[in-house]
Structure 1
C-alpha cells in the first residue's frame, strides 16, 4: 500500500528522473535565441476553393523591410530589422542605447498555385497574402460512340 504514488509508475526511478531534469536544465544553451539572427513570426493560414490566405504578424516593419518570394514550390516571407535607438538626458549623455537587428523568416511549401497573381498587402502590422490556386480543369464525362 505504501508504494501507491499518483502519476508515477512503480518501476520509475525518482532520483534518476530528478538528475536527468537538472542535467537537461543546465545543458540548455540559454543564449541560443540571443545569438541567432533568424527568428520566426506568427502566421494564420486558411484555404478556400480558389486560394490560400496567409496573414503574418509583422508589427513595426515597413513594406520595404519585407520580401516575399516563391521558388521551387516554397513561399518565403522574410522581414529584416536593422534599427538603433538611443536615449539621452538633458546634458546629452547617453542613458541607454539599444540595437535591434535580425531576420524574421517563415517558409511554406505550396504547390499548384498561380504564382503570377499572388497579392500582398501590409496593413496595421499584418501582411496579408492571397495566393490563388491554379485552375485545373476537371475532365468532363464523355460518351464514346460505338461504330
Structure 2
C-alpha cells in the first residue's frame, strides 16, 4: 500500500514538473511585455498619470504616440555588448532584445499638453484631460 502511494506521489510530482516546464517554455515569448513594461495608471478630474517600468532602454529608443484615445508606448533594444567570459560564452541569459510595446485606452486627452519624463528606467507621463467647453452649450431654456 505504501509503495502504491509513493508511486502515485512520484507520478503526480513528475506531471507537475512537466506542466511547469511546458508552461515556462510555451509562455516564455510572452514574458518580455509582462516582465519589462509593468505599468501604473492613476486618474483624477484633470489628468491621467502613467508610469511604465522600462529598465535598460535608451531614451532615444522609446516611442510614444497618442491617437484615437489610445496611448501607445514602444521600446526597442538592439543587442547587449557584454560577454560572460573571455570566449564570449553565455551560461545563462534572461535579458531580451527586440521590440516591446503596450497600449492603453485613455479617453479625452489634450494631446498638445502631454508631457513625458524618463529617468532611472521609469517612463512617467502626464496626460491632461480635455476641458469641457461650456461656451458652446446647446441647451435652450424654456420660458
TM-score interval (norm. to shorter): 0.5 to 0.7
Change (3 A) 1:131 1:88: closer
Partner Cα separation in structure 2 for residue 25 and residue 71 of structure 1: 41
TM-score by length of 2: 0.67
Post-superposition shift, 1:26?
Answer: 7.0
**Structure 1: 5+ residue stretches without partners:** 1-14
**Structure 2: 5+ residue stretches without partners:** 1-7
Residues paired across the two proteins, number:
124
Aligned to 1:69: 65
- 1:85 is aligned, of 77, 81, 85, to 81
Partner Cα separation in structure 2 for residue 69 and residue 116 of structure 1: 12
Partner Cα separation in structure 2 for residue 145 and residue 65 of structure 1: 58
Aligned to 1:103: 99
Give the number of the structure whose residues are more often helix, by fraction. 2
TM-score by length of 1: 0.66
Partner Cα separation in structure 2 for residue 105 and residue 83 of structure 1: 17
Give the number of the structure whose residues are more often strand, by fraction. 1
1:1-147 matches, cutoff 5 A:
22=15, 25=19, 28-35=22-29, 39-40=33-34, 41-87=37-83, 93-97=86-90, 100-138=96-134, 144=141, 146=143
